[in-house]
């Protein structure tokens, strides 16, 4: 089927007549149009279709015989509501210089819709005046998909509110967006090609294991929460990143060739800390409730005090001590005198186990002036002490703990005053060893709650009455 309408010619030739030159030109034009990869059509000055090639037939399903001779696209290749606008935009190329580019939807023969991008230009007659329009068009789904992919990539790397890091097959950052650079505390270019261990003080092994797994097995089914420690001028900063991973492979290779891993993360430190704090509060409240029930079954109030201490110790500290004021309880109106304390109970040193009563000899503990337990009694409030907030040599920690009459591995101490009926009975001390965090204000509040219960039990036991 010819791809063009031949007006004023005939297909019938006499037996001795040579083929007409016009026929040669028309057939050559039809062959050229049909051989093009782009869909091509043409309209005369009245908007009638004069040419329609095979690629146009492939895209829309209309053959050249069905298309050539129709008045524009109305009623067959575009919706009736869009026909006027489409025709105006196509024929406007006759009045405009150069090529005109448009995008609109055409209808296929089976009723489907195809989004196309057209390039149209005027066709000049022998007199130089516009005689029609030629139009080349192609499906733009692939082009639009590419443009969308590029736009998405640029948005992720510039405007995304979460971190995006493209990690190469050697587990080194190849592309970092602005949010990720801020989260890592470095510039976008300064982190490129560097090992992750240069950027993170802790959590590197877990993160690299996740990246390696994605390279080998593909993306995990759900996001992972990774705790890391960042190196900052102020010291290490602990953060929790909810991370998702996707494996990147080249779309151009026959076999999937890994290009690296796309790592997307969001900082959820505050929410995770909130969840942990809420869980800790629930646990501590439950421990206090369990302690009260267990203490209620003790016939000896002094034993009940030790029960409260043991329940409070779980998950809170490594060791605990109870010291009472020598000579009985002191009131706030008593004259100031040197504070002397006698050990009532203590957890075993160097081995796990319940607290045991002690101090039967009545000899005061050799606390020096300014000891946290002494300060606690003098101030009638909690006192926190620590060997250091950062890494401290073991020998220095040992000397610090020994000077305070605490186990040698103690790094952090918290003393809470024991008060009952307006009197100071003594002090309860909680101790943490190496690897544990320092006591904070919420810990002190919990210790004070425990101290109230222990003081009540001791007061009932009569262990602190004055002679």
Q: How far apart are the first and last CA of the chain?
A: 124
Instruction: Look at strands 224-232 and 235-249 and give their pairing.
Output: antiparallel
Average pLDDT of 210-217? 90
User: Residue 357 — very low, low, confident or very high, per pLDDT cuts 50/70/90?
Assistant: confident
- Minimal CA–CA distance to 313: which of 177, 120, 208, 443? 443
pLDDT cut 70: percent of the chain above it: 82
For residue 337, pLDDT beyond 80: no
For residue 96, pLDDT beyond 70: yes
Please give the structure tokens belonging to residue 379: 């101030």
Please give the structure tokens belonging to residue 416: 């809470």
Instruction: Look at strands 319-325 and 100-107 and give their pairing.
Output: unpaired
- Minimal CA–CA distance to 324: which of 377, 378, 361? 377
User: Residue 292 — very low, low, confident or very high, per pLDDT cuts 50/70/90?
Assistant: very high
For residue 254, pLDDT beyond 80: no
Please give the structure tokens belonging to residue 154: 């640029």
Please say whether the beta carbons of 351 and 319 come within 8 A: no
Topology annotation, domain 298-465: Beta-Lactamase (3.30.450)
Helical H runs in 119-238? 141-158, 178-184, 204-217
Length of the chain: 467
- Give the integer Cα–Cα distance in Å for 356 and 303: 9
Between 124 and 372, the higher pLDDT residue: 372
E strand residue ranges, 24-146: 39-44, 49-52, 100-107, 113-124, 130-139
For residue 340, pLDDT beyond 50: yes
Average pLDDT of 73-87? 87
For residue 13, pLDDT beyond 50: no
Instruction: Look at strands 341-346 and 356-357 and give their pairing.
Output: antiparallel
Between 331 and 67, the higher pLDDT residue: 67
Q: Match 């060893």 to its residue by tokens.
A: 433
Least confident of 43-52, 175-184, 254-263, 271-280: 254-263
- Give the integer Cα–Cα distance in Å for 106 and 116: 7
Architecture (CATH level 2) of domain 31-143: 2-Layer Sandwich (3.30)
Q: Match 């004069």 to its residue by tokens.
A: 50
For residue 22, pLDDT beyond 80: no
For residue 179, pLDDT beyond 80: yes
Q: What is the pLDDT of residue 142?
A: 62
Least confident of 78-92, 159-173, 352-366: 352-366
DSSP, collapsed to helix, strand or coil, labels residue 307 as: helix
Question: Under CATH, which number does the domain 161-268 receive?
Answer: 3.30.450.20
Q: What angle do CA 258, 154, 186 make, to 5 degrees?
A: 80
The mean of the pLDDT values for the chain is: 82
User: Residue 393 — very low, low, confident or very high, per pLDDT cuts 50/70/90?
Assistant: confident
Please say whether the beta carbons of 2 and 64 come within 8 A: yes
User: Residue 253 — very low, low, confident or very high, per pLDDT cuts 50/70/90?
Assistant: low
Least confident of 137-141, 331-335, 403-407: 331-335
DSSP, collapsed to helix, strand or coil, labels residue 293 as: helix
For residue 245, pLDDT beyond 90: yes
Domains of the chain, residue spans: 31-143, 161-268, 298-465
Burial class of residue 464, CB neighbours in 10 A (0-12, 13-18, 19+):
buried
Please say whether the beta carbons of 191 and 184 come within 8 A: yes
Average pLDDT of 291-313? 90
For residue 353, pLDDT beyond 70: no
């Amino acid at each position: 089927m010819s791809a063009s309408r031949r007006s004023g010619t005939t297909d019938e030739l006499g037996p001795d007549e040579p083929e007409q030159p016009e026929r040669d030109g028309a057939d050559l034009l039809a062959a050229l149009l049909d051989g093009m990869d782009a869909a091509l059509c043409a309209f005369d000055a009245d908007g009638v279709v004069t040419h329609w090639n095979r690629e146009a037939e492939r895209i829309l399903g209309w053959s050249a015989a069905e298309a050539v001779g129709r008045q524009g696209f109305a009623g067959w290749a575009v919706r009736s509501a869009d026909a006027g606008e489409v025709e105006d935009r196509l024929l406007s190329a006759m009045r405009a210089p150069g090529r005109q580019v448009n995008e609109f939807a055409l209808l296929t023969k089976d009723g489907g819709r195809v989004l196309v991008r057209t390039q149209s230009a005027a066709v000049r007659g022998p007199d130089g005046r516009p005689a029609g329009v030629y139009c080349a068009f192609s499906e733009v789904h692939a082009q639009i998909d590419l443009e969308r992919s590029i736009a998405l990539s640029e948005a992720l790397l510039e405007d995304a509110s979460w971190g995006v890091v493209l990690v190469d097959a050697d587990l080194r950052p190849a592309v970092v967006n602005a949010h990720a650079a801020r989260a890592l505390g470095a510039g976008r270019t300064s982190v490129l090609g560097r090992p992750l261990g240069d950027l993170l003080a802790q959590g590197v092994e877990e993160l690299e294991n996740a990246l390696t797994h994605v390279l080998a097995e593909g993306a995990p089914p759900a996001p992972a929460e990774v705790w890391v420690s960042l190196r900052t001028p102020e010291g290490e900063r602990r953060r929790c990143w909810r991370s998702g991973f996707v494996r990147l492979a080249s779309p151009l290779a026959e076999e999937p060739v890994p290009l690296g891993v796309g790592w997307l993360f969001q900082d959820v430190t505050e929410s995770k800390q909130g969840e942990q704090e809420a869980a800790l509060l629930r646990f501590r409240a439950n421990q206090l409730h369990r302690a009260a029930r267990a203490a209620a079954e003790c016939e000896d109030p002094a034993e009940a005090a030790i029960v409260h201490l043991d329940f409070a110790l779980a998950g809170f500290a490594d060791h605990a001590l109870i010291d009472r004021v020598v000579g009985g309880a002191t009131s706030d109106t008593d004259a100031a005198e040197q504070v002397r304390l006698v050990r009532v109970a203590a957890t075993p040193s160097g081995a796990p186990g319940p607290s045991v009563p002690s101090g039967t000899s009545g000899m005061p503990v050799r606390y020096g002036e300014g000891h946290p337990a002494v300060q606690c009694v003098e101030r009638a409030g909690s006192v926190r002490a620590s060997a250091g907030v950062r890494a401290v040599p073991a020998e220095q920690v040992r000397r610090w703990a020994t000077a305070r009459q605490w186990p040698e591995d103690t790094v952090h101490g918290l003393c809470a005053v024991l008060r009952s009926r307006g009197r100071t009975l003594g002090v309860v001390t909680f101790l943490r060893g190496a690897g544990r965090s320092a006591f904070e204000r919420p810990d002190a509040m919990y210790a004070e709650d425990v101290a109230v219960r222990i003081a009540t039990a001791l007061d009932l036991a009569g262990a602190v009455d004055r002679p």
